[in-house]
Amino acid sequence: MIRAIAAVPRPMVEEQEAMNGQPAVTIAVPVYNGAARLPALFERLDGLEGAPGLTWDILIVDNNSTDGTADVARELGARSRVSLTYALEPRQGAAWARLRAIAIARGDWIFFLDDDNWPEADWLRRAWEFVRDRPRLGAVGGKVLGAYGDAALPPDFERVEGFWAVRDYGRFRDRAAQFNAAQLQLPPAAALMVRRSAWLACVPAQPALTGKVPGRLVQGDDYEPLLYLARSGWEIWFCPELVTWHQIGAARLALPYALELARGCGLATYYLRSLLTPKGDRAVLFWRIAIGNALKVIQRRLRGRDRGWGDRVELAFLWGCALSPFYARRHLPEAPDLSSKIQ
């Protein structure tokens, strides 16, 4: 069964649908040119374990794909064992796709999954068990492990795998724990559960960081809304039992892509830090980030730490950090001050 929704948002109608349809969870899959990836993901979704009393549905948000993603979604919906909704989001960028999902999802809990991120069979059941009895929980993330197929991992890849949203959070020692939003310790959106009502209440409808678009690979779009949730007192947790596998092929391990990805992560640094910094202190933050990271690059090069694959990826990130104040001043709106309200 598949339901198609027009590209233009209709908040009042869609929110009424969410209340009346009554699935507890919507698994939302933002997609850009994912026609080749969706069938494998749906094999895993069809195999998910349920939980007593849990109702759930699937939402595909097509972020302007040009590869037949819509046709594939319809084929999958025709044979899906749960209700599947297809929606088009024409504004390019993952942040817009997630906002579209928030606007039209029928479940109050939205479990985001990237189209190349495969969940373990117990992922849905364990996630529901974790979120259902925590009234102050706004978002939760689990382990995102790397699955590289036959691709040969570059030297020192483990040092930089976080740029690919590969996270096992060893510091938590496999225990559930609260993320430290004030230190930008937050889960990626590749596998993220969020409370829809909390998001609608406190996350702006206009994101500053919109995600990767052709010609502009700037990250940070998954952290920005989480900071608003934290500012409003919602808790953001890590649950070690929630495991997904991020499918990463050889093309995304090539050095040019890796350098662009790392630099894009760095370019978001100043804006995200600005959200956590009083406006009166931002001039100091501007130069501390710009000069401090430029000096790190120079020091690494003087020490010969610019030759290996991992070294070059880290240097690209540091250069992105150094440029991030200038990028934010030129391309982004002034960040609101969330500093006094995030603990």
pLDDT digits (tens, 9 = 90+) for 226-237: 999 999 999 999
CA dist 178 to 57, 155, 241, 242, 275, Å?
A: 28, 32, 14, 15, 20
Smallest CA-to-CA distance from 242 within 113, 108, 98, 57 is with: 113
Q: Could you give the CA distance from residue 89 to residue 267 in angstroms, rounded to a whole number?
A: 25
Summarize the confidence of residues 121-131 as an average pLDDT.
96
Smallest CA-to-CA distance from 343 within 182, 202, 228 is with: 182
Summarize the confidence of residues 197-213 as an average pLDDT.
91
Confidence band for 16, pLDDT divided at 50, 70 and 90: very low
Helix/strand/coil for 240: strand
Handedness of CA 270, 273, 279, 285 (dihedral sign): negative
- DSSP assignment letter at 339: G
> Where do the H-state alpha helices sit in 235-303?
255-267, 269-275, 282-302
Helix/strand/coil for 2: strand
Q: What is the pLDDT of residue 341?
A: 67
Distance of CA 21 to the CA centre of its chain: 26
Give the tokens for residue 59.
Answer: 């939402």
Summarize the confidence of residues 210-238 as an average pLDDT.
89
Q: What is the pLDDT of residue 242?
A: 97
Q: Could you give the CA distance from residue 17 to residue 13 in angstroms, rounded to a whole number?
A: 6
Smallest CA-to-CA distance from 193 within 151, 134, 276 is with: 134
Smallest CA-to-CA distance from 30 within 113, 91, 137 is with: 113
Instruction: Return the C-alpha torsion angle 212, 6, 229, 240, nearest 10.
Output: -70
Q: Could you give the CA distance from residue 342 to residue 223 in angstroms, rounded to a whole number?
A: 14
Q: Where are the beta strands (DSSP E) in 8-102?
A: 25-31, 56-62, 84-88
Whether 215 shows a pLDDT value over 80: the answer reads no
Summarize the confidence of residues 121-148 as an average pLDDT.
96
Confidence band for 338, pLDDT divided at 50, 70 and 90: confident
On average, the pLDDT of the chain sits at 90
- Kindly tell me the burial class for residue 155, based on how many C-beta atoms sit within 10 Å of its own C-beta (0-12, 13-18, 19 or more): exposed
Smallest CA-to-CA distance from 252 within 142, 143, 114 is with: 114
